[in-house]
Homo-oligomer: A and B are copies of this chain.
């Protein structure tokens, strides 16, 4: 344990050297018509912070990003996407190249069953939209992984830890980062986050409120230890 701790201290700035890490970030948008869409409050800040931290620690980074208002991290390969289907296709097609995926994006999980090719006129007092499921990106990657570590996120507003543990198992993740997006001053849009990191062995690490840059490094500490476990 002491040897590991010392090694980690020595390697802190370069412990992901030689690894390729795919990060997904931001929301996706699902078109209702050419003007309207369904999206969510993900700002992309957590994913971008992870991408930057991974670059700082020597990793090659592939950042699949939904529409966000953030400056891309220098050195990452960026694949911009709009819809969940776009993000799914990009992630699946590049999965073989990477050693880990960190799914910090909040892809829309439902999309309109039909997309109107023209702007829908507001002739009706009420209208209904039928929504259908989009592909589950992290579940697909979790169930098809070979050597890759799969790290997912769970943004919840209630029973956060319980839902996160369910997702971890159901989607064959190696680790899940859970946060309560209904809490004030953390999560969506904020520069701060407070999370629980749960590993596949059930081990839980509570990360109190701190800047997303610091949360990013703690997530990568945990990922680095997953890589170490695989070697042992």
Contacts and interface: CB of A to CB of B under 8 A. Distances in A.
A37 B38 contact: yes
Interface stretch (A73-81, A118-126, A216-224): A118-126
Interface in A117-158: 118-119, 121-122, 125-133, 155-158
A110 B130 contact: no
Contacts of A158: 118-119
B126 A128 contact: no
Nearest to A119: B157
A209 interface: no
Contacts of A127: 110, 130-131
Interface string A201-221: 000000000000000000000
A75 B127 CA distance: 41
Interface of A: 32-41, 69, 106, 108-110, 113, 118-119, 121-122, 125-133, 155-158, 163, 181-182, 188
